[in-house]
Amino acid sequence: MEANATNYKQGALNMTIGALVGVLALLAYLFVGSRNETLEVQKLLTSKVEQFATTQLKLDSISKVLDEKIVEVRQLGGSVVELERIKRQLENDKKKLKSDLTFSSQQYSLKIRDYQNFLTSSEANIRKLKNENGTLASRAQTLEQEKQTIIQENEGLKNEKAALAQAVFDYSLQNADLQNKVTLASAMKAVNIEVNALASNGKERKGGNYKASRIDRLKVTFILPSNPVATRNNKDIYLRILDTNGAVISESGIGGVMWFEGRELGYSARQTVPFESNDQRVDMVYRRDATYKSGDYTVELYSEGFKIGDGRFEVK
């Protein structure tokens, strides 16, 4: 009886020990599996961090190269518009990378490749700029050498050049004088100037002395003598009627301002006349609403910057 009890206890103990061993084995399995999974996660995180750091370094490196190329292209006199646009795009990618929770190494690898391709193409453009600048520098050097050669060759001609300059100056004075004479010769003249009074009924009075009550209009008549030097074209004739105080008589909408010898002069009327150089007669009619005051009046005629004639009349 005691032997059976002892065997029973021993069997129960063995079973308990076996169960414990099984539990320990299960725990050990679970621990090892969990540890392996943690190690895999750590490896993945480590890889992500390394990829992130590598990507950031590459972007920083490309940014530095872009800065250098912008400075170089500016010094070469080229356009940096495209370089600056890519630099802004790169800075946006760098800023986005710092807060990118869905970071993808493959996505940024494609961007980095595009940036590197751009740098390669820009390097070709820089080489082209350098070649062009080299050609220009060589050309400038050649021109400078040619310039120095010309200066040396001209050194012995100073006296001759001075004499020639004096001759040219003298000729210019003579030419200017001749041109002035030609200009004066080509200026028109107004001769036989008459100032007649027209009454309201159309009756014309001559003589130069008129009653104010009988002046409805003034008719200025003159002759333009033929001039073979003057150009046959339309001539603007300006009429100035000056009162006893020397003031210009002018009606609104009829008179205006002209230039004469560098200053402005008011005029009473203007008429365009086709100059035919055949001693043609010209009539200019001027009407004033106000009554003429008693006194002596002066009539002046201008054309093409010259005063071509004058006349007088009296109002009683």
Question: What DSSP string runs through 101-122?
Answer: TT--HHHHHHHHHHHHHHHHHH
pLDDT at 240: 97
pLDDT band at 284 (very low <50, low <70, confident <90, very high): very high
| Residue 35 to residue 183: CA distance in whole angstroms | 113
Which has the higher per-residue pLDDT, 197 or 102?
A: 197
Q: Which amino acid belongs to residue 197? A: A
Q: How far apart are CA 179 and CA 63, in angstroms?
A: 70
Task: Give the containing element (helix H, strand E) for 303.
Answer: strand 295-303
Using DSSP's 3-state secondary structure scheme, residue 104 falls into coil
Q: Which of 3-17, 124-138, 263-277 reaches the highest mean pLDDT?
A: 263-277
**Least confident window among 10-24, 116-130, 197-211, 248-262:** 10-24
Residue 225 confidence (pLDDT): 93
Residue 178 has pLDDT above 50, yes or no: no
Helix (H) / strand (E) containing 125: helix 105-155
Residue in the structure block whose two tokens are 């370094």: 57
DSSP state letters, 203-223? -EE-SSEE-GGG-SEEEEEEE
Q: What is the mean pLDDT of residues 302-311?
A: 94
In this prediction, residue 25 carries a pLDDT of: 62
pLDDT in tens, 17-74: 655 655 566 566 555 555 555 666 566 556 666 777 788 788 788 888 888 888 888 8
pLDDT, tens digit (0-9, with 9 covering 90-100), for 79-101: 888 888 988 887 887 777 777 65
Scanning the structure block, which residue is given the tokens 């895999």?
40
Confidence of residue 76 (pLDDT cuts 50, 70, 90): confident
Least trusted range by pLDDT, from 152-156, 236-240, 280-284: 152-156
The more confidently predicted of residues 52 and 185 is: 52
Question: Residue 184: what pLDDT?
Answer: 41
When pLDDT is averaged across residues 257-271 and rounded to a whole number, the result is 94
Cβ(188)–Cβ(308) below 8 Å? yes
Q: Per the structure block, which two tokens stand in for 208?
A: 């130069």
Whether the Cβ atoms of residue 119 and residue 58 lie closer than 8 Å to each other: no
Mean pLDDT of the chain: 80
DSSP 8-state secondary structure symbol assigned to residue 226: -
Q: Is the dihedral of CA 9, 15, 19, 20 positive or negative?
A: positive
Whether the pLDDT of residue 176 is over 50: the answer is: no
